[in-house]
């Protein structure tokens, strides 16, 4: 059994070093990498919406909360805008973000999130599928598996994919060996549970290809030695 995600895995291993080296250019690099990964996952940036006659899905996750973690929600909002420009529909984009940044008292421009200096407002139009206390590991797993009955709160949107569909999963937040953090107390996503979710999705035969892009410390530990 194999998952076609080797390119994003390579990015997870190299991205922390790349960002460390480039420092202040992080947002520019992030923007370019996001576009490159989306293009690799879904084909030409002008035709994400109808690759191989299948449906393209995206699950975008900012796993943090608090104004100090501004960048995670900014990156997810930017990824949403890239996907929308490429033709994906809101019904096929599932967004997990705490949504406490745009109107935060520390935000000098209320209702605005940017992901580069003097950048455009990437918050505009972003679906609020799972926010606040609805941003949970349980809901994320259920959404990936297309298990609507397991969802608690939120929009109820799930990846209702078929065998010819393509799935892009993007996670931005903090991490540690074998763990991706989530905003709730004791609600982190562990590598073994994430891999179990991927195996279950694979066994269901409900996608043709999947790309996973994890931007977090120790991101490689989520996959290395665990994928079959």
- Asked whether residue 91 is domain-assigned, the answer is yes
Maximum Cα interatomic distance, the chain, rounded to a whole number of Å: 50
Query: To 10 degrees, what angle do helices 191-204 and 137-145 make?
Result: 20
Alpha-carbon distance 211 to 150, whole Å? 24
Check which CATH number belongs to the domain holding 154 and give it.
3.40.50.1460
Of 77, 95, 67, the C-alpha closest to 155 is 95
Which listed residue (72, 78, 166, 217) is catalytic?
A: 217
pLDDT number for residue 151: 98
- Asked whether residue 1 is domain-assigned, the answer is no
DSSP string, 58-107: EEEEE---SGGGHHHHHHHHHHHHHHHHTT--GGGEEEE----STT-TT-
pLDDT number for residue 103: 98
Half-sphere exposure of 224 (CA within 13 A, CB side): 12
- Asked whether residue 115 is domain-assigned, the answer is yes
**Who's near 98: CB < 8 A, 6+ residues apart?**
62, 64, 65, 73, 131, 132, 135, 183
**Who's near 26: CB < 8 A, 6+ residues apart?**
19
Q: What is the CA radius of gyration of the chain?
A: 16
**Cα 132 from chain centre:** 17
Tokens of 210: 């999947």
Write down the residue that tokens 């972003």 correspond to: 126
- Domain range spanning residue 172? 6-19+29-39+53-222
Strand partners, 214: 171
Bridge-based pairing of strands 179-180 and 189-190 is: antiparallel
pLDDT number for residue 168: 98
Half-sphere exposure of 148 (CA within 13 A, CB side): 7
pLDDT number for residue 161: 98
- Asked whether residue 138 is domain-assigned, the answer is yes
Alpha-carbon distance 79 to 76, whole Å? 5
- Asked whether residue 137 is domain-assigned, the answer is yes
Q: Would you call 202 a catalytic residue per the annotation?
A: no
pLDDT in tens, 74-116: 999 999 999 999 999 999 999 999 999 999 999 999 999 999 9
Alpha-carbon distance 144 to 18, whole Å? 29
- Asked whether residue 190 is domain-assigned, the answer is yes
Strand partners, 171: 61, 214
Q: How far from each other are the two terminal CA atoms of the chain, in whole angstroms?
A: 6
How many domains does the chain fold into? 1
pLDDT number for residue 53: 78
pTM of the model: 0.80
- Asked whether residue 79 is domain-assigned, the answer is yes
Three-state DSSP class for residue 206: coil
Taking 70 as the pLDDT cut, the residues of the chain under it are 1-52
Q: Would you call 174 a catalytic residue per the annotation?
A: yes
- Asked whether residue 120 is domain-assigned, the answer is yes
Which listed residue (26, 72, 77, 174) is catalytic?
A: 174
């Amino acid at each position: 059994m194999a998952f076609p995600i080797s390119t994003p895995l390579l990015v997870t291993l190299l991205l922390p070093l790349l960002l460390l080296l480039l420092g202040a250019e992080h947002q520019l690099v992030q923007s370019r990498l996001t576009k490159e990964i989306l293009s690799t996952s879904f084909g030409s940036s002008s035709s994400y919406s109808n690759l191989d006659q299948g449906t393209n899905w995206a699950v975008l996750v900012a796993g943090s909360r608090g104004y100090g973690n501004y960048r995670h929600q900014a990156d997810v909002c930017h990824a949403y805008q890239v996907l929308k420009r490429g033709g994906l529909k809101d019904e096929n984009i599932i967004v997990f973000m705490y949504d406490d940044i745009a109107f935060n008292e520390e935000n000098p421009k209320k209702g605005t999130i940017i992901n580069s200096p003097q950048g455009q407002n990437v918050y505009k139009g972003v679906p609020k599928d799972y926010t606040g206390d609805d941003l949970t590991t349980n809901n994320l797993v259920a959404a990936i598996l297309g298990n609507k009955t397991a969802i608690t709160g939120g929009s109820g949107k799930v990846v209702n994919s078929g065998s010819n569909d393509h799935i892009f999963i993007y996670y931005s937040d903090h991490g540690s060996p074998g763990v991706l953090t989530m905003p709730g107390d004791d609600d982190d996503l562990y590598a073994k549970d994430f891999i179990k979710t991927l195996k279950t999705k694979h066994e269901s035969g409900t996608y043709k290809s999947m790309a996973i892009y994890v931007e977090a410390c120790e991101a490689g530990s989520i996959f290395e030695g665990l994928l079959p």
